[in-house]
Structure 1
Amino acid sequence: AEAPGETLRFHAEALGAQVRLDAERSTARRRATFHDGIVFSQRPVRPGERVALRVLCHERGWCGGLRLGFTRLDPARVPARSLPPFVCPDLEWQSPTWAAVLPDGCARTGDVVRFWVTRRGRLFAQVNAGPRLLLRKDVPMGAPLWAVMDVYGTTKAIELLGEATGGDPGTAPGDPTASTFPTTMPHVLGGEIPPEPGATAGEECVICFHRAANTCFVPCGHTHFCSSCAWRVFGDTAKCPMCRWEIEAVALARGRPALGTGDGLLVSVADWT
């Protein structure tokens, strides 16, 4: 078993299908596509202990980037083949996992990201020397928590820095986990970031968390995706991330649907049925 204070590394076997680690298990790189980039710490993380990583490679052309959080899943007991494509929302739905999306454009190549959970169950992150971002405030405590990261979208590769620092600097006397930060600091609750115009609360795409979910997959009918992400999934795996059914077409979820066959041909619902 790993000692509680041992330098953090990535778990050697519980990896997303596209992840490759270096020999020291400090660098995780996604080989292709934009998903299947889930990685875990090799040991549980203490409350207040900061997980520090550096973004090594930023890949343009995708929507959304690094996801991070904590889980009660012991990666030593997680078969790699059972990992879903996304930590948000797939792994959260399937297991006791609490993760969040860093605001778009927040972490670029060379940036250092630190994240931690307090004894009050608040998940914070900090990029370089910037303000602390409150990502979630609902992480249940009282059981071991492993760090989980998703090398997703624009984030192509990350490196664990192995810093083992505990406690929150600048905390209130008598409460080592209380966190103070400017009231104007952007914060994200429930693993979501503020939607772009056109996406009302509860209607954001579950992949990028930016655009409105305005398409559905045929034949399964899931309507959780914006058109940009839907077409990327269709061209990449042709399997619905929600149910893993084969996708035969992408349809608009609002108004009179138009279906895409993958060859750029749009047909009406009447033509399809």
Structure 2
Amino acid sequence: MGACICPLEGSDGPSQPPNGPLFFHPYLKGSQVIMDESHCIASRTATFCNGIVFSSRPIELYEKVTLKILKEESRWTGGLRVGFTWQDPSLLEPSVLPPYICPDLVNQGRCRAGVLPEECEAEGTIVSFWVDNQGYVYCSTNEKPEGFLVISGVLVTSPLWAVVDIYGRTKALQLLDPSSLPTNADELSLLQQSESTCGDFLALPEECAVCFGQKANTVMLPCCHANFCSHCSLEIFHTTRCCPLCRQEVKKIIPISVLAKGESPEVWLE
């Protein structure tokens, strides 16, 4: 997993104005899902699966989908899965939904989703996720300014709907209004309070040291090695979780562009 700062207004990838209120799709949902009248609270009634829900409308690029974990169930393992689909959920029947997003729905070919880390499982945790214009999905927790990379490969040339799997330990979710959370300007201000950097990023190798085909654009933390592309960094994090250069444990991955602006690595490792 890697990371990015949340997009700012006026940046290269600003969020477009949302086209109406966001809530869970009222009809297409897993067989174990029940919702409140507002369709903003979804719960899984039994088992550990069949908890897939969708957004009620398409999600814009960089638009945050923000959830709060209302209840967890300790007798199960595994946690929340999130992602995006380019198949209109209104055209599907609930009976065709598989029990899991990963790998079932992903294997159908019109969805990309990933598993969130354990820190996203606790009751009261606020989780936001979004997709950028390159098809990378990022997630942040508890209103922190940084976002870690979850998955890539989302087809951004088509309308996208958010998809969430209320899986395993995650028992109930509430869909929140992101406008009630800190603004992007507030988040940037927090990051700019730090003065230290992770080194000089102006003389970096251009090619990824793993695939030699993509540009090196990410930084491993805490070792600060910056020799890998986003795709290879994600593969490393999900497999060995060790930096190939120094074998130090990788705790987070962030874009080079963020630290090149003078942001502190300590902020990202909190």
Normalization by structure 2: what TM-score?
A: 0.62
Query: What are the Cα deviations for residues 122-156 of structure 1, in whole angstroms up to 9, with x where unaligned?
Result: 10000113441101122121110000000000000
Aligned 8 A contact 2:80 2:120 in 1: no
Using the TM superposition, give the Cα deviation of residue 182 of structure 1 relative to its aligned residue in structure 2, in angstroms: 6.8
Quote the offset at 1:94 in angstroms: 1.3
SS of residue in 2 equivalent to 1:88: helix
Show the counterpart of 1:159: 174
Match of 2:162 among 137, 144, 147: 147
The 1:126–1:182 alpha-carbon spacing in structure 2 relative to 1, beyond 3 Å, is farther
Q: Tell me if structure 2 keeps the 8 A contact 1:103–1:193.
A: no
Which secondary structure does the structure 2 equivalent of 1:44 belong to? coil
Structure having greater relative contact order (Cα 8 Å, sep ≥ 6): 2
Per the TM alignment, residue 103 of structure 1 is displaced from its structure 2 partner at its CA by 1.2
1:82 aligns to 2:119 (yes or no): no
Q: What is the letter of the counterpart of residue 21 of structure 1?
A: M
Q: Which runs of 5+ in 1 are unaligned?
A: 171-179, 197-273
Would you say how many aligned residue pairs link Structure 1 and Structure 2? 183
- SS at 2:150's partner residue? strand
Distance in 2 (CA, whole Å) between partners of 1:181 and 1:162 is 31
Rg larger for: 1
1:194 positional shift: 4.7
2:29 maps to which residue? 15
Identity percentage of aligned residues: 39
Superposed counterparts of 1:21-60, under 5 Å: 21-60=35-74
Give, in angstroms, the shift of residue 73 of structure 1. Answer: 1.5
Give 2:152's aligned residue: 137
The amino acid of 2:174's aligned partner reads E
* Paired residue type of 1:98: R
Structure 2 residues without counterparts, runs of 5 or longer:
1-16, 189-216, 223-229, 242-270
CA shift in 2, pair 1:4/1:88, >3 Å: same
The separation in 1 between residues aligned to 2:238 and 2:173, in whole angstroms, is: 21
Structure 1 CA distance for aligned equivalents of residues 37 and 83 of structure 2: 24
One of 200, 203, 221 as aligned partner of 1:184: 221
Which structure's residues are more often helix, by fraction? Answer: 2
Q: Indicate the SS of the match to 2:178.
A: coil
